[in-house]
Amino acid sequence: MGSARSNGEDSINYNNNSREVEIAVMEIVHKVEVPPPKSTINKLKLRFKETFFPDDPFRKFKGQTLSSKCILAAQFLFPILSWAPNYSLSLFKSDLISGLTIASLAIPQGISYAKLANLPPIIGLYSSFVPPLVYAVLGSSKDLAVGPVSIASLIMGSMLRQAVNPNTDPYLFLHLAFTSTLFAGIFQASLGIFRLGFIIDFLSKATLIGFMAGAAIIVSLQQLKSLLGIVHFTKQMGLVPVLTSVFHNTNEWSWQTIVMGMSFLGMLLMARHVSMKRPNLFWISAGAPLASVILSTLLVFLFKAQNHGISVIGHLEHGLNPPSWDKLILNTSYLSMVMKTGLISGIISLTEGVAVGRTFASLKDYKVDGNKEMMAIGLMNIVGSCSSCYVTTGAFSRSAVNHNAGCKTAMSNVVMAVTVMVTLLFLMPLFVYTPNVVLGAIIVTAVIGLIDLPATYHIWKMDKMDFLVLLSAFLGVIFISVQDGLAIAIGISIFRVLLQITRPKIVSLGNIPGSDIYRNLQQYRDARRVPGFLILAIEAPINFANTTYLHERIGRWIEDEMDKGGKIASMILDLSSVSAIDTSGISFLMDLKKMLEKRDLQLVFVNPVGEVMEKIQRANDIHHFLGLESLYLTTGEAVMSLTSSVK
């Protein structure tokens, strides 16, 4: 089966007006080979390996002694053991500088993001102390700087606020935040342990860009409460409720707060602009938030501004993280809500952390293990939930500063954590007069970088469907809610994938003059139709979800060709791009052949690959639906053989 021969040679004549071609006939000796037989067990093992272990993490263990395997296993579980033995003073100098630099950014951001999550500011500093220490031991990225991030803080705060008011019941709200962090960590670690990281791939680039931009705008609008000095502000997150609240409470606007807020916001934006234009001046943008906190605190203290409409943080407890495992709430009344909050905030923070780690790893030409990162971030949050921390991950802004500051290893996270520890132990009284308006300005400056206009324009030019997904995520976040906007965008992305599966692309092929190459007639203007042949190519797997569509579409294609007056003797179906087929697909090929035989048309298949050829062979052994000249290696050989048989 699959072999064809014909002798003789004719000339090739082209008709440019009708875009048709007569093909020369020559001897054909090639045939389609069936893949080497494999047992079902071996096939399942290969499929399992490619699905869950595409990186083959155990290849380093092959051929090693038992002691070497133990060492490699320890390094695999604790990446710190890979670089710590060779750590040197010169490396520490670089990590010390970068660690102190990101600490200057992490301290004000930690306080700010905790307030964004409706949590006490001290929780933001707690979350910048314990999680970096855990990540330094388990993480595989040299550049990732971990801690609270704006988007995860916004999601957790907004979702928990739907069930509990953080102002009237702050302790319950705090306990629910710890519990949500626990579930976020369990989910993240499970993805890494069971190697299910491909689940987060459903968050496409377009989805993330639209979601991040919408969330950045919502986060910025939420800061109008602090920037304008409004006391009674809406609890809702949508664009309309926020703007309504702003303009319905103009009597609460404080000109002192507005002046201070706009001044420091302008200073922070200018520092960010300078660092973007001159990357070697990254330290300006990194140090600007801490400088703003120090300067604004001094101004409030000297001029007693808290008595003139400027709200301040107030007293903060000093000391290290107290344990919080006894504060986790696992009763049924809140369980579904905290699990949902943990799941959504966990997915978003995990996606951000893995993406940031891979981005900077590519710049330094080293590899970040995605599954290790998932386990590290997950365990980091599990430990954090038991030590008064809320959800944390790798932050892009801090990681960029860490990278630009010249970090060499994850030790920079340890330096940052030690700096935060010193702050928690000795410097907390200094934040009593820190104005909330400056924290709002720091948040606005940080989230502006999440709005990626060049990438949005690029997606618009490249793929309008992807742009629709981006726009759906953006508008959903802006006008509905953060979690609903994300769900809408994911739903559209999945629908697009399903549409591609259920409606595969079929193209008509023609011959390139002077060659035996066959290409899409719509794409290649030089391609010419072959008289008496309908040559189609299916460019997708064939399965139960698309066989009905394929049958109807090919039938309509044949009718259209006949309505045009074309005489078709044979149809050639190119299966080169069909990577997989199921039993419904095999039944479709058999039914198609029967349908064409009733119309006195011959059907042949070209180059079925791998699994497809194997299943066709098995079906033919049972049903004998293929003749001697039904399979060809190339379209050119099929055309030549069939032309010769007609002559």
Q: Rounded mean pLDDT of 437-463? A: 90
Q: What is the pLDDT of residues 255-268, one digit of tens each?
A: 888 999 999 999 99
The predicted structure's pLDDT at residue 55: 66
CA distance 627 to 501: 30
Phi first, then psi: give them for residue 531, nearest 5 degrees. Answer: -60, 135
Q: Rounded mean pLDDT of 493-519? A: 89
CA distance 428 to 155: 27
3 state SS for 217-276: HHHHHHCHHHHHCCCCCCCCCCHHHHHHHHHHCHHHCCHHHHHHHHHHHHHHHHHHHHHH
CATH architecture, domain 503-646: 2-Layer Sandwich (3.30)
The predicted structure's pLDDT at residue 6: 42
Domain boundaries, the chain: 88-497, 503-646
Lowest mean pLDDT segment, chosen from 37-46, 93-102, 243-252: 37-46
Which residues, including other chains, have CB under 8 Å from residue 237's CB and lie 6 or more apart?
154, 158, 218, 222, 481, 482
Quote the mean pLDDT of the chain. 86
Q: Rounded mean pLDDT of 177-189? A: 96
CA distance 60 to 393: 29
Q: Is 626 left (phi over 0), alpha (psi -120 to 50) or beta?
A: beta
Q: Rounded mean pLDDT of 548-560? A: 91
CA distance 227 to 254: 9
Q: What is the pLDDT of residues 374-409, one digit of tens each?
A: 999 999 999 999 999 999 999 888 898 888 888 999
Q: Rounded mean pLDDT of 439-460? A: 89
In order of 106, 172, 522, 528, 570, the CA distances from 539 in angstroms are 50, 55, 15, 20, 20
pLDDT of residue 10 exceeding 50, the answer is no
In this structure, are residues 348 and 391 in contact, taking their beta carbons and an 8 Å threshold? no
CA distance 77 to 524: 53
The predicted structure's pLDDT at residue 7: 42
> Which pair of structure tokens corresponds to residue 442?
């720091």
The predicted structure's pLDDT at residue 2: 47
